[in-house]
Amino acid sequence: MIDTSRITEHMPVVGSDGGHVGTIDHVDGQRIKLTKTDPEAGGHHHFIHVDSIASVEGGQVRLNRTKAEAKDEWATA
């Protein structure tokens, strides 16, 4: 289980392939909310379930799926 208290605002989120997925806005229950101002966001907030997080280390959130898989699965509401 990931300790979500270690996730802080403006941390980068990267896929298992190292691809940039987004930037943390905040933790919202069992989801992380990404900033809508990140170049990958297209002007929308996106949400990723905490089950997708592999680790929080080195100042970034690393997912257990690739950038493309994460973007296929993210929610906008």
Question: Encoding tokens for residue 60?
Answer: 């970034």
Which domains are delineated in the chain? 4-76 (2.30.30.240)
According to DSSP, the β-strands at 31-34 and 20-28 are antiparallel
4-41 pLDDT, tens digit each? 999 999 999 999 999 999 999 999 999 999 999 999 99
Residues contacting 76, CB < 8 A, separation 6+? 44, 45, 46, 47
On the question of pLDDT at 74 being above 80, the answer is yes
- pLDDT at position 65: 97
Given pLDDT bands bounded at 50, 70 and 90, which one contains residue 77? low
Q: What is the pTM of this model?
A: 0.93
In 10-72, DSSP assigns E strands to: 12-14, 20-28, 31-34, 46-49, 53-57, 60-63
